[in-house]
Amino acid sequence: MKTKSKKRLSVVLGSMLAVSLTLSACGNTGNSEKNGNAEASTNAGNTKVDKQVAIKYYNWDNEAQSAGTDAMLQEFMDQNPGIKVEHVALVPGDSVEMLKKLDFLISSGEAIDVIQVPSLGGVLERATRGALAPLNEFYEKDNLVPEDEYYVNAKVDNNYYGLQYTKSNNYVMLNKDALDEAGLPVPTFGWTWDDYRDYAKKLTKGEGVDKRYGTYFHTWELYMNAPAQTMMKDPLVYSDGTTIFSDPSYKYFFQLRKDMETADKSAKYYADALAAKLNYRTEFFNEEAAMILTGNWTIADPGNTEQYPHEFKTAFAPVPVPPAGSEPKEYEGKYFTNGNMLAMGTTSKNKEASFKLMRFMSTAVSDNRPEFSGYKKADNEALLTKLVAGKEEMYDIDSLKYTLFDSEIQFLDGAQVMTTATSELTKVINDGFSKFMLGDESIDKVQKWMVDEATKIINEKGVIK
């Protein structure tokens, strides 16, 4: 997560609970009490807008996503006739390019009202360079305590800059029919990555073009060191600001990946995944693989048999934990969570109206909401029920609810220290992993190279403390 070079700031993040799958909510904003959420009836806040104003809402919606957003914005305008909202999808379907275009608009001096930002780091980066307006006065005016409202809060020098819009976390999807065939139970919290390897061996079946692998690992850094990516407050630096690439979990997971490909032959080769540009959803639903690590943005997929034709039932399990002796150095046995954020541009000329829209979008109980909410008082279990309605036969519902909502599944508080060089350090992960998986360099040599490169980058760019 980026910010100004070598600028040391006091950052306190709100606690992170679990989720980017896309889910729908029940009811509507006028019916909050019926949904057991009386407080949501004031979810737009008490901030008053005294005259008719026009504001813009920026995001990266594709055509399909825009329909839901437009419907929610219309709900807001129906309830607030004094505010007109224009939806601007800057770069449809591409959050990275959207942020680049947004930064250009900000640098050109354009008035920016409400922005959907794809990560907490994206908010902090822009807040620290003065592009975003602090929200404290609006929270205070509406008698709101941010930590009581949202799982994730971005706070720089005692100023709040983002409202959590969505809630995301990771899990494992499993082919329930394949599990039953192999006589394997659906895993629960506490199963380890060694157990995952064993499951993958037992779920591997057939040969050649008809082979079903036990698992598929995609090409993202999530799959290069899953323990660090899913069970650390920050996957790039420790709490003292030093690189995490020296962590024992790197040596363990890099070797696990190679062994599953070469020794067990229970996972497709990384080289093949890169060369063929494989799609992880297709690998799972086409029964090329029986298990896949993914996240709650895929919850709707098992029921979407039109787009992903398949007949098997999908089960769900928490992400495996590292086995004893391979835990990350600051391991707490809890999971990382994040989500999309809503922020306000410093240049907005209608800040009260903008905050009112931010509160509505982040808290509204709406049939048009496409995702789990980052609002603590939202009923995400009701959203799940609505999402799978009519498709229940495609889900192992008990395992899905357990994985998402059981009290045994705990989530990490926010990191106190974050790197200012996310993209540069992510490249080091990718390059180091490729050196090990595609070459013949030892894990010790590769890990030393990664630590050296990361240390140079951190020393140059700095961290947020």
Residue 230 contacts residue 336 (beta carbons within 8 Å)? yes
288-318 confidence digits (pLDDT tens): 999 999 998 899 899 999 999 999 999 999 9
Residue 396 near residue 313, CB atoms below 8 Å: yes
Query: For the residues 11-19, what does the mean pLDDT come to?
Result: 34
Please tell me the predicted confidence (pLDDT) of residue 153: 87
Of these ranges, 61-65, 72-76, 375-379, 411-415, the one predicted with the greatest mean pLDDT is 72-76
Question: How is residue 114 written in tokens?
Answer: 């409400």
214-243: per-residue pLDDT in tens? 999 999 999 999 999 999 988 999 999 999
Lowest mean pLDDT segment, chosen from 47-51, 100-104, 209-213: 47-51
Higher pLDDT, 297 or 267: 267
Q: Which long-range contacts (CB under 8 A, 24 or more apart) does 88-93 make?
A: 88/56, 88/57, 88/58, 88/59, 89/59, 89/60, 89/61, 89/62, 90/58, 90/59, 90/60, 91/60, 92/60, 92/61, 92/62, 92/63, 92/66, 93/60, 93/61, 93/62
Q: Output the pLDDT for position 383.
A: 85
Burial class (CB in 10 A: 0-12, 13-18, 19+), 419: buried
Place of tokens 């008082």: 377
CA torsion, points 171, 92, 372, 28, in degrees to nearest 10?
-160
Residue 45, pLDDT above cutoff 70: no
Task: Give the pair of three-digit tokens for residue 292.
Answer: 């896949």
C-beta of residue 25 within 8 angstroms of C-beta of residue 366: yes
- Structural domains in the chain, sorted by start: 29-167+338-379 (3.40.190.10), 170-334+415-464 (3.40.190.10)
Overall average pLDDT of the 112-123 stretch: 91
pLDDT at residue number 9: 35
Radius of gyration of the chain (CA): 22
CA distances from 381 to 151, 371, 400 (A): 16, 12, 11
Q: State how far the Cα of 331 lies from the Cα of 74, in Å rounded to an integer.
A: 45
Stronger pLDDT, 147 or 422, i.e. the higher one: 147
pLDDT score, position 222: 94
Could you tell me the pLDDT band of residue 33, with boundaries at 50, 70 and 90? very low
Average confidence (pLDDT) over 359-368: 91
What does the pLDDT read at residue 420? 67
Higher pLDDT: 17 or 164? It is 164
Asked whether the predicted pLDDT for residue 5 surpasses 50, the reply is: no
Confidence of residue 144 (pLDDT cuts 50, 70, 90): very high
Using a pLDDT cut of 70, give the percent of the chain over it: 88
- Portion of the chain with pLDDT greater than 90, in percent: 70
Side-chain-facing half-sphere of 328: CA atoms under 13 Å: 26
The mean pLDDT of the chain is: 87
Give residue 72's pLDDT band: very low, low, confident or very high (50, 70, 90): very high
| DSSP code string of 283-352 | HHHTTSBSEEEEEGGGTTGGG-TTTS---S-EEEEPPPBPPTT---TT--S-B--B--EEEEBTT-S-HH
Note the pLDDT of residue 50.
60
Q: Given pLDDT bands bounded at 50, 70 and 90, which one contains residue 49?
A: low
Report pLDDT digits (tens) over 318-360: 999 999 989 999 999 999 988 899 999 999 999 999 999 999 9
For residue 461, name the pLDDT band (cuts at 50, 70, 90): confident
Q: Is the pLDDT of residue 250 over 60?
A: yes
Average pLDDT, integer, range 430-448: 96
Beta-carbon contacts of residue 49 (< 8 Å; ≥ 6 apart): 80, 82, 83, 350, 352, 353, 356
Give the DSSP per-residue string, 412-444. PPPPS-EES-HHHHHHHHHHHHHHHHHS---HH
CA nearest to 266, candidates 338, 213, 195, 211:
213
d(CA 315, CA 300): 13
Helices (H), 88-219: 95-107, 120-128, 136-141, 146-149, 176-182, 193-203
Is the pLDDT confidence value at 262 over 90?
A: yes
Q: pLDDT tier at 457 (50, 70, 90 boundaries)?
A: very high
Please give the average per-residue pLDDT across 179-196, as a whole number.
98
Q: What is the mean pLDDT of residues 391-413?
A: 94
pLDDT at 311: 97
pLDDT band at 46 (very low <50, low <70, confident <90, very high): low
Residue 311 near residue 180 (C-beta atoms within 8 A): no
CA distances 127 to 124, 134, 401, Å, are: 5, 8, 36
DSSP SS3 for 109: coil
Residue 259: pLDDT band by 50, 70, 90 thresholds? very high
Give the per-residue pLDDT at 155. Answer: 83
Site of tokens 């020098």: 157
**Torsion over CA of 381, 385, 387 and 391, rounded to 10 degrees?**
150
pLDDT band at 22 (very low <50, low <70, confident <90, very high): very low
| Eight-class DSSP state of 118 | S
- pLDDT at position 422 is 81
C-alpha angle 285/291/292, rounded to 5°? 85
| Average pLDDT, integer, range 156-178 | 93
| pLDDT tens digit sequence for 190-211 | 999 999 999 999 999 999 989 9
Helix (H) or strand (E) holding 388: helix 380-388
Q: pLDDT grade, residue 3 (50/70/90)?
A: very low
What does each C-alpha distance from 288 to 99, 298, 317 come to in angstroms? 35, 17, 19
Phi, psi angle pair for 277, to nearest 5°: 50, 55
- Per-residue confidence (pLDDT) for residue 17, from 0 to 100: 32
CA distance 107 to 209: 52
User: Higher-confidence residue: 365 or 216?
Assistant: 216
